[in-house]
Amino acid sequence: MLSPLSVAAIQMSSQEDVAKNLERACALVEAAAADGAEIAVLPENFAFMGEEEEKRRLAEPADGTGPILHAVRELARRAKVHVVAGGMPEKSSDAARPYNTSFLVAPDGSIAGRYRKVHLFDVEIPNGPTMVESGATTAGDLDIRVVDACGTKIGMSVCYDLRFPELYRKLTALGARIVTVPAAFTLTTGKDHWHTLLRARAIENQVFVIAAAQHGKHPRGRQTYGKSLVVDPWGDVLAQVGEGEGFCVARLDFAYQDRVRAGLPCLTHRRMP
């Protein structure tokens, strides 16, 4: 039987200064680790939120030798914690369109897994921003996998993926007990949809959801919703961050998850692939 696990959702208000963003990310993860967290999830764009041209310049190689991922690997070693490095630019075959990649870094500093964002945010929100993520980002392929951390399986996703339940069903079918959702949800969509979508993904797949978000005002006129949180398999919010930067820690009880799945065995009742 899996032992309970303490996890943290980190909330940031990242700007254009990579060094300052990384300093803040390290401080928050270290504080969460000191509070007992064994896995800490950083938000999407944790290291940089700014102009697309600069994002392209910052894109790092997949082997983890770039300065951003190096800083995260050192952080994981120092804090002795698994770190989900939200979403960050990773080089692709198209120099103008890097991947938006979430890395899982183990406490020994090794890269234990990665996920390249599949669904890209190309929308024109009424009375809100127009975003064309595909213009500066390459979508990941559909070779979806789960990763191992702290003796359990984790499914990784990024932000806009949250609107596509088939991804989370695939991760659950592969054995995920936890899914991570680093995000930079807009204020417009976040206030109406963030909690509802996160709780829905948790309920329908009977998984724990760790959602780490950006909050506040950023360059290029962006404003994000925040409300980083952890949801349990029944859809209850276990912990949530308030306004501004910070973190929340929740304890995941896998025995409780087993009881939920046994008492309402909807995952065994599926009739469609």
Catalytically active residues are 44, 117, 159
Long-range contacts of 193-197 (CB under 8 A, 24+ apart): 194/225, 194/227, 195/227, 195/229, 195/237, 197/162, 197/163
d(CA 181, CA 84): 10
User: 10 Å Cβ neighbour count for 17?
Assistant: 13
- Give me the residue label for tokens 């390249």: 116
Evaluated on CA atoms 121, 56, 14, 218, the torsion sign reads: negative
Instruction: Quote the distance between the C-alpha of residue 142 and its chain's center.
Output: 18
Q: Any idea which residue has 């630019």 for tokens?
A: 89
CA distance linking residue 144 with residue 225, whole number of Å: 28
Question: Regarding beta strands 82-90 and 39-41, do their DSSP bridges make them parallel or antiparallel, or are they unpaired?
Answer: parallel
- Specify burial of residue 1 (Cβ count, 10 A radius: 0-12, 13-18, 19+): exposed
Residues 6+ apart with CB under 8 A from 15: 21, 49, 50, 218, 219
Can you give the three-state secondary structure of 235-257, one letter per residue?
CCEEEECCCCCEEEEEEECHHHH
Element (H, E) at 203: helix 187-205
